[in-house]
Amino acid sequence: MVMDQEAKLKAIRSSLHELAQPLAAVTGMVDLLLLECNENDPLFEEVQMISEQLQKVLEIVTEIRRLAREPAVQHGRLEVVRDRGD
């Protein structure tokens, strides 16, 4: 059972890493667009919103990766409570 749990955690960490890499690349490209875009450009606000939303997703992925490394999770003792806020 411990090995099964470890295999699941490893798969989750690997999947999160695979998700974070392209998100980081897209975030970088969007940030470059923001640097080149004039604030008066009609697309500036949309590109800025995309950047902000990508950052939120990256923060979520980072938090899940952190939780997956927690010793309590690795030993099956962490209870996850959903926050219905925001």
- Quickly state the pLDDT bin for 74 (edges 50, 70, 90): low
Identify the pLDDT of residue 35. 93
Q: Where are the alpha helices (DSSP H) in the chain?
A: 2-36, 44-69, 71-74
Which domain covers residue 8, as residue numbers? 2-74
Is the CA virtual torsion 21, 51, 55, 9 positive or negative? Answer: negative
Percent of the chain with pLDDT over 90: 47
Is 23 a member of any domain? Answer: yes
Locate 14 and state its tokens: 């690997």
Six-digit token pair at 57? Answer: 């997703």
Question: Does residue 62 form part of some domain?
Answer: yes
* Average pLDDT for the chain: 83
Does residue 84 form part of some domain?
A: no
What pTM does this model have?
Answer: 0.70
CATH value at residue 10: 1.10.287
Q: Give the confidence band of 53 by pLDDT, cuts at 50, 70, 90.
A: very high
**Domain count of the chain?**
1
